[in-house]
């Protein structure tokens, strides 16, 4: 994968390399791939939150024992999950966006 560079960047196949150009190309490579990693994590966490929201809505609508949990569903999930309680709480809150959207949307 090529890293975007500008005209002042060094061509690594060139025999006339200097220390400053080495530092520059390493920094640019680091910044490029660090941003790629950030973007990948953001996408993954967004998909995770939407999936958890989908699972919650599906359970609320079709779960066999949904009446047992009722309005305490989210707190019971936070208590029962092996995920840390703080993280589970944030996850359930962010997934609530999906729940709200589904509840207000009309079927297609």
5: which 2 tokens?
Answer: 């560079």
Q: Taking a C-beta distance cutoff of 8 angstroms, is the pair 10, 17 a contact?
A: yes
pLDDT tens-digit map of 10-61 = 566 666 788 888 899 999 999 999 999 999 999 998 888 888 888 888 888 8
pLDDT at 35: 96
pTM higher than 0.75, yes or no? no
Q: Is the pLDDT of residue 65 over 90?
A: no
> For the packed helices 73-80 and 19-62, what is the interaxial angle rounded to 10 degrees?
120
Collect contacts of 30-38 with beta carbons under 8 A, ≥24 apart: 32/3, 32/4, 33/3
Within 13 A of 40's CA, how many CA atoms are on the CB side?
Answer: 6
């Amino acid at each position: 994968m090529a890293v975007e560079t500008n005209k002042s960047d060094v061509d690594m196949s060139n025999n006339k390399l200097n220390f400053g150009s080495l530092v520059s190309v390493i920094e640019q490579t680091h910044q490029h791939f660090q941003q790629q990693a950030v973007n990948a994590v953001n996408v993954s966490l967004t998909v995770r939150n939407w999936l958890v929201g989908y699972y919650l809505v599906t359970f609320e609508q079709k779960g066999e024992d949904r009446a047992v949990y009722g309005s305490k569903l989210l707190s019971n999930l936070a208590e029962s999950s092996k995920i840390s309680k703080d993280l589970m709480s944030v996850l359930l809150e962010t997934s609530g966006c999906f729940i709200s959207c589904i509840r207000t949307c009309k079927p297609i």
